Amino acid sequence: MSFKFPELPYSYDALEPHIDAQTMELHYSKHHQGYYNKFMSAIEGTDLANQSLEEIFGKISSQAAGVRNTGGGYYNHIVFWNSMSPNGGGNPTGAIADAINKDFGSFDKFKEEFSNAAATVFGSGWAWLVNNGGKLEIIATANQDNPHMDVVKGSGTPLIALDVWEHAYYLKYQNRRPDYIAAFWNVVNWDHANKALNS
């Protein structure tokens, strides 16, 4: 089976004080690991086991809910860990900065739109910045859905993902999701966004 559970690209406390170590440890070692384990069980012995995630997500409407939820949870968190860095935050630079200015008018405008999309996801879900054929777009998804899935309105290559499930922030921010979203901008990984934009 070709699906690996990747290492976290930094230590649990690397994003302090914006994202706390206890949340990171539980989120990675319990939640993400759990999604991975259940996804492996869900596809074991099926023809999905030899397909790529993009192939699977592209026809997720015809798959069992368990595959959709656990496959999404497995993939989405990988994008999320890479969307943050201890050296992150600040203004975007390079190609992603130019693309944000082109498609949103300014970084401040983008930040406002993305933050609003993340804040208004009802219940559990995600906010995404995607490259849709050369145009940047913001997409919000419910539960563990993502922009690769055929059930999601909008599509594109994810550049940045923000997890707005309560497990991502409740220990430190309790019900204050907007404070967690504001903190995310201090660790957002523009280097990763630039790499994903050029891939």
Contact 151, 60 (CB under 8 A): yes
User: Of 16-24, 118-126, 149-157, 160-168, which segment contacts Mn ion by CB under 5 A?
Assistant: 160-168
Per residue, the 3-state secondary structure of 62-104, as one string, reads HCCHHHHHHHHHHHHHHHHHHCECCCCCCCCCHHHHHHHHHHH
Is residue 165 part of the contact set for Mn ion (CB under 5 A)? yes
| Residue 166, SS3 per DSSP | helix
Q: How far apart are CA 3 and CA 99, in angstroms?
A: 32
Smallest separation (angstroms) from Mn ion to the CB of 107: 26
Instruction: For the CB of residue 80, give the shortest distance to Mn ion in the complex, in Å.
Output: 7
Interface with Mn ion, residue 35, by CB under 5 A: no
Residues forming beta bridges with residue 129, ordered by sequence position:
138, 160
**Least CB distance to Mn ion at residue 167 (A):** 6
Query: 128 vs 165, which CB is nearer to Mn ion?
Result: 165
Helix axis angle, 190-197 to 94-104, nearest 10°: 80
Q: Confirm or reject binding of residue 180 to Mn ion (CB under 5 A).
A: no
Residue placing its CB nearer to Mn ion in the complex, 107 or 170: 170
Q: Which stretch binds Mn ion (CB under 5 A): 1-9, 35-43, 139-147, 163-171?
A: 163-171
Residues near Mn ion (CB under 5 A) are: 163, 165
